[in-house]
Amino acid sequence: MGSAVTKTEKLLQLARKGPLRARDLDDAGIPRAYLKRLRDRGLLEQTDRGLYRLAEAPLSELSSLSEVSKRLPHAIVCLLSALQVHQMTSEVPHAVWILIDRKARAPRLLNPQLEVVRASGPARAHGVEMRLIDGVQVKLTTPAKTVADCFRFRRHVSLEVALEALKDYLRERKGSVDALGEAARADRIYAFMRPYIESLV
């Protein structure tokens, strides 16, 4: 009985740090059956297939990003979701926007909803930072790369959103014009963006 309490406590301590996957228990030496047990007792809630969180854990506006990053560690939060994190938009996206490698298999999550864009080489690797959200390390495009991506993927998010992001980036001094130029070149969108940048600087 004593060991059961210890394992339960250990599991709850893990859950307090952020979303849990079944495989996280393997590393901690806790049988996976404890997840179902604690869920049935109302201590944990299942947010998606194989993903659990502490039932009383406060949900932040960005909780869905940490859940996606826990399930898809290679995905990079981008576009409208990155604008939200960088406080460059007042809108709350209807889905979590992620950037994955061009050849990666399409992710399938029941919840939250995903919007997926693809890139490879510098367009995927340039301008990525880490942000701790709800105890999870989340890969995220930098403000400059987020703006460049909005132009590159303007058919997905609209040119209007891209222009607003650019104006906000410059007005709020979210980064340098040089950083913006580097990100635009990595995205091969510099020639298209340049007139817009020059008209605002």
**31: CATH:** 1.10.10
Last residue of a domain, one of 54, 72, 97: 54
Residues 7, 103: one domain? no
Give the mean pLDDT of the chain. 90
- Phi-psi category of 51—alpha, beta or left, where left has phi over 0 and alpha has psi -120 to 50? beta
Residues 151, 68: one domain? yes
Q: How far apart are the C-alpha atoms of 200 and 93, rounded to whole Å?
A: 26
Residues 33, 81: one domain? no
Q: Helices in 46-189 by DSSP H: which ranges?
A: 63-71, 79-85, 122-125, 143-152, 154-157, 159-171, 177-186
Indicate the pTM of the whole model.
0.77
Residues 80, 131: one domain? yes
Residues 166, 109: one domain? yes
Predicted pLDDT of residue 2: 47
Q: What is the mean pLDDT of residues 88-92?
A: 83
Number of domains in the chain: 2
In the chain, the DSSP E strands lie at: 20-21, 44-48, 51-54, 76-77, 96-101, 114-119, 128-133, 136-141
Encoding tokens for residue 55?
């039932």
Task: Report which of 156, 158, 169 is spatially closest to residue 201, judged by C-alpha positions.
Answer: 169
Residue 19 has pLDDT above 70, yes or no: yes
Residues 50, 92: one domain? no
Encoding tokens for residue 11?
């599991």
Q: What is the mean pLDDT of residues 189-200?
A: 96
Residues 50, 67: one domain? no
Residues 125, 33: one domain? no
Residues 114, 142: one domain? yes
Q: What is the mean pLDDT of residues 109-117?
A: 88
Q: How far apart are the C-alpha atoms of 67 and 161, rounded to whole Å?
A: 25
Residues 97, 43: one domain? no
Q: Which position has the token pair 């298209």?
A: 192
Confidence of residue 4 (pLDDT cuts 50, 70, 90): low
Residue 60 has pLDDT above 70, yes or no: no
Q: Which domain holds residue 82?
A: 63-200
Beta strands 96-101 and 114-119: pairing type?
A: parallel
